[in-house]
Amino acid sequence: MNDDIKSIVIVGGGTAGWLSAGIIAAYLQKHHSKKINITLLESSDIPTVGVGEGTWPTMRRTLKDMGIRETEFIKKCNVSFKQGAKFAKWVTGENDDYYYHPLELPTGMFENNLATSWLNINNAQPPFAQYVSAQQSICESGLAPKQITTPEFSAIANYAYHLDAGLFATFLKNHCIDNLNVKHIVGTVAGVNNCTNGDIKSVSLNNKIEIAGDLFIDCSGFKSLLLGENLGVGFKSCKDVLFADSALAIHMPYKGDEPICSHTLSTAQTSGWIWDIGLQTRRGVGHVYASNYISDDEAKQQLFDYLNINQAQQSKYKVKKLTFEPGHREKFWHKNCVAIGLSAGFLEPLEASALLLVEISAKFVAEQFPYNECLMAITAERFNRTFSYRWARIIDFLKLHYILSKRTDSPFWQAHCCTQTIPQSLKDNLAIWTFHTPSDNHFDHSQEVFPAASYQYVLYGMGFLSSTELHNNPDCYFKKAQALVNNNLRHTEQLLKKLPTNNALLEQIKQFGMQQI
């Protein structure tokens, strides 16, 4: 057929471009009988943003499917292990105020919902995450999620990664070129050429070369060169819901033998929050804030205060400024162009959703690849419906962290709790969760970006109390629940004894590597 899709052109490199190229190329080589040519075009004079250094456990499967050795990835991308996020000063702002969102499901999540049991002993309980999982204790002890004898990509405790985004993009580029037959062209786009039906025909470079394709993937960053500028797809801001629009990032060297955190640390500030991510050789730290509530200078000073950098030392540190409009495109796939990464949208990296969205977007394209032009419109409509829903749910989940806060010490926190800034879908769920603990059947899709377990961790970590009066659970429920809790306690004790520290495991991997599955 003359309308078969034979070529894909990805405009833009960085993590989004090369991760998309790798995911799609690896899948199509394995599952598609005909060869699909994939070309990635990137400019040599546009630096990558590189602030999203946190991933989800899905990245393990993604890398494995691409044929990447976990040992090499860890060695070459300054990788450390991530087992969840610790949120400090989000509820009261006091020094002892923190809770965890681990990456493991609560113990017995699908057998006995322990949230009900925890709520019934609310006056004497350990923190919810500690009650239902071993992972909070593992993280607080600075331990790794596996041992050196655990095979690559396998886990004792569920884990993701912290990584250097710049090194990761280069690592992916080399793998895609050397192993997945992705063609790489360096050049700056000077123009986009459309067909009479509005589809993109080709892109012209500043050296007069023209690159034609059947399907174009826009990974051009905030500029959204293809989908936004050329095809005119509008942008849907959510700044009325999520106020953060700026970030300051800094690289911090370790002082001596500092422990490498096995979790992301997010510490609330007067008008935003500070992320703190431990890599092998440094920490990546940044202040995400709302410019309507705090000046850049004040935000920078809060960052320096957090890092205990006095005024005399501040000039020694390079601070990178990033501004963004929170939100996403009105649609993500139009004509023969799909946007992935920053070209599709951006939200504050509170739950590290940026790279996840790249992963699941590229996998959608690969797994539902439009074999010909007739399927393009059908696939595009399904993609838009799916990802409009996913972006809306991510916005809801990020907003949840703010509206449950009891902080009233600044206009930023007060405004976040105003009813008119809360999406109706989130209000509806909160009304339900006043009488029911979050369950997967409270959501529209069987596979949610943030499942019920994530909502439980945040709700009960921040002190939200569901009524237990309507839960007339029989005694056998509480006996089973107590048995699960006791098992979790024993399991936690065992892991605390046998797991190495994050530092020790990373050093062993550098020396010996891990065994392949």
d(CA 492, CA 411): 41
Q: What is the pTM of this model?
A: 0.95
Mean pLDDT lowest for which of 113-122, 299-308, 329-338, 394-403? 113-122
Amino acid in the structure at residue 169: A
Whether the per-residue pLDDT at 469 is higher than 60: the answer is: no
User: Mean pLDDT across the stretch 44-48?
Assistant: 67
What confidence category does residue 1 fall into, taking pLDDT thresholds of 50, 70 and 90? very low
Average pLDDT, the chain: 93
Is 351 among the annotated ligand-binding positions? yes
CB 104 within 8 A of CB 134: yes
Instruction: Mark whether 82 is an active-site residue.
Output: yes
User: Mean pLDDT across the stretch 411-427?
Assistant: 95
Mean pLDDT lowest for which of 31-35, 164-168, 363-367? 31-35
User: Mean pLDDT across the stretch 203-215?
Assistant: 94
Q: Which two tokens stand for residue 408?
A: 């009233």
Tell me the CA distances in angstroms from 350 to 71, 101, 334, 413, one per residue in order.
28, 11, 29, 16
User: Mean pLDDT across the stretch 396-411?
Assistant: 97
Calculate what percentage of the chain has a pLDDT beyond 70.
Answer: 96
Considering the candidates 64, 82, 89, 510, report the single residue annotated as catalytic.
82
Q: Which two tokens stand for residue 448?
A: 């949610």
Q: How far apart are the first and last CA of the chain?
A: 41
Is 144 among the annotated ligand-binding positions? no
The DSSP call for residue 229 is I
Nearest to 401 by CA among 475, 348, 445, 444: 348
User: Mean pLDDT across the stretch 417-444?
Assistant: 90
Helix, strand or coil, per DSSP, at residue 222: helix
Is 13 among the annotated ligand-binding positions? yes
User: Mean pLDDT across the stretch 425-429?
Assistant: 94
H helices of 404-474, in order, are: 411-416, 424-433, 452-461
Element spanning 62, H or E:
helix 58-65
Is 452 among the annotated ligand-binding positions? no
Q: How many CB atoms lie within 10 A of CB 376?
A: 20
Mean pLDDT lowest for which of 71-75, 114-118, 493-497, 511-515? 114-118
Whether the per-residue pLDDT at 302 is higher than 80: the answer is: yes
The DSSP call for residue 344 is T
Helix, strand or coil, per DSSP, at residue 312: coil
What confidence category does residue 83 fall into, taking pLDDT thresholds of 50, 70 and 90? very high
Helix, strand or coil, per DSSP, at residue 39: strand
Helix, strand or coil, per DSSP, at residue 40: strand
The DSSP call for residue 495 is H
Q: Is 192 left (phi over 0), alpha (psi -120 to 50) or beta?
A: beta
d(CA 81, CA 157): 11
pLDDT at position 427? 95
Rg of the chain, C-alpha, whole Å: 23
Cα angle vertex 355, ends 352, 357, to 5°? 100
pLDDT at position 50? 52
Is 14 among the annotated ligand-binding positions? yes
More confident residue, 515 or 17: 17
User: Mean pLDDT across the stretch 486-504?
Assistant: 97
Is 258 among the annotated ligand-binding positions? no
For the segment 110-159, what is each residue's pLDDT rounded down to a tens digit?
Answer: 888 899 889 888 666 799 999 999 999 999 999 999 999 999 999 999 99
Dihedral (CA of 41, 387, 396, 451) sign: negative
User: Mean pLDDT across the stretch 224-229?
Assistant: 98
Q: How many CB atoms lie within 10 A of CB 60?
A: 20
Tell me the CA distances in angstroms from 164 to 15, 76, 151, 218, 262, one per residue in order.
10, 9, 23, 23, 15
CB 503 within 8 A of CB 260: yes
User: Mean pLDDT across the stretch 299-326?
Assistant: 95
CB 393 within 8 A of CB 386: no
d(CA 184, CA 178): 11
CB 274 within 8 A of CB 266: yes
Whether the per-residue pLDDT at 460 is higher than 50: the answer is: yes
d(CA 396, CA 162): 24
